[in-house]
Structure 1
Amino acid sequence: MTSTSKIANGTSTLDTAFTNASSTIALIGRVLLAAMFVLAGIDKITGFEGTAGYIASVGLPFAELLTVVTIAVEIGAGLALIVGFQARIAALLLAGFTLAASVLFHNFWAMPAEQAYIQQLMFMKNLSVAGGLLMIVALGGGALGISKGK
């Protein structure tokens, strides 16, 4: 057996293992992606006034209404993603929310130098999270969920 065929066989074995575990891996991925949204939504309930003030500080109107909508999206879509209920729709909603929040609240390009680095890290983290969510939109949420892969 040549080293090339060993690599090919090893890759094939690894691919088989990943395929066999794909439903479990997808569930873990959904839970990990959704956890930050659910926890953030709960924090926004307990810090409602502070959240509304932060939203207002960037010039958005109807800060209290937007706070309620934000809480509903983070908790509602986050829980839907965890249990696999319409996972693609929940992931799309959270991806759009994350991208909008990134531009509005982590606009590092408009920050003073001492704040820009941290805001750029937050912005890039959010882009990565949105990318993971868009993978769920494209590929589905896996077989372990209420909507079975949808």
Structure 2
Amino acid sequence: MILRRVARPLLASMFITGGINALRDAEGHAQAVKPVIDKTVDQAGDSVPEAVPTDPVTLVRIDGAVKLAAGTLLALGKFPRLAAGALLASLVPTTAAAHRFWEMDGDDRQQQTIQFLKNTSLAGGLLLAAADTEGKPSVGWRAKHAVREAGKQVQGTTDAVQKNVQKSQKNLQKSAGRAGAKAGKAAGKAGKATGRAGKVTGKANRTFALSR
């Protein structure tokens, strides 16, 4: 969509520029956030893992690299939702550290308030970009749909098995009925044969008695 091709580079331009500037002048940017970082590290104390960098210059460079890389991906439309999420994760601590307007007075307070609100506006745009599925179903929807489809298939299989069982039972009942009917007919025939044999025997006995 043309709108996304235009909007994504516009949204990413601020982050790409900020990332380049941070990498070029990491020391200068570090001076602005150093008090906040030092205060945070002091409050955390020994709970900060050794693998986590606490040097302001290093943190500024990492933040600049993230902004540059993720901003470029967003501008190009490559993994846009992931890139927007990375930029948002980078924007929040940067805003909290560099634009603490509530600690300032006068013109500085006004300027930092503007910067803070500008960043919150960018955060809103990043939230929209991170949630944009480009008209495709979201992962959550697809997962729920897959579960429903699996449930329908299981129910269909269960119904088919029940129908087959019921059909088999009916066939067995019919077979048993036919076998019973045949057995009844055979018993009837045997009874008739026995009756005829009895008659023949009776006649033979009467003939024998007369001949004596």
What is the TM-score normalised by the length of structure 1?
Answer: 0.73
Provide the C-alpha distance between the structure 1 equivalents of 2:29 and 2:106, rounded to a whole number of angstroms.
25
1:1-150 alignment runs, 5 A limit: 23-60=1-38, 61-140=54-133
Q: Is the 8 A contact 2:88 2:126 kept in 1?
A: yes
Cα separation, 1, equivalents of 2:105 and 2:64:
29
Deviation at 1:130, TM superposition (A): 0.6
Q: SS of the counterpart of 2:37?
A: coil
Mapped partners of 1:32, 1:95: distance in 2:
15
Contact 1:92 1:133 in 2 (8 A): yes
**Structure holding more helix per residue:** 2
CA contact (8 A) 1:89 1:137 kept: yes
Extract unaligned runs of 5+ from structure 2: 39-53, 137-212
CA contact (8 A) 2:23 2:65 kept: no
Question: What's the CA shift for 1:97?
Answer: 1.6
Q: Among all aligned residue pairs of Structure 1 and Structure 2, give the percentage whose two residues are the same amino acid.
A: 32
Quick one: higher RCO (CA 8 Å, sep 6+), 1 or 2? Answer: 1
Q: Is the 8 A contact 1:26 1:142 kept in 2?
A: no
Say whether the 8 Å CA contact 1:27–1:142 is kept in structure 2. no
Alignment length, in residue pairs?
121
Which structure's CA Rg is the greater one?
2
1:18 is matched with: none
TM-score between both structures, scaled by the size of structure 2: 0.53
Following TM superposition, by how much is the alpha carbon of 1:51 offset from its aligned partner in structure 2, in angstroms? 1.9
What is the CA RMSD across the aligned residues, in angstroms?
1.9
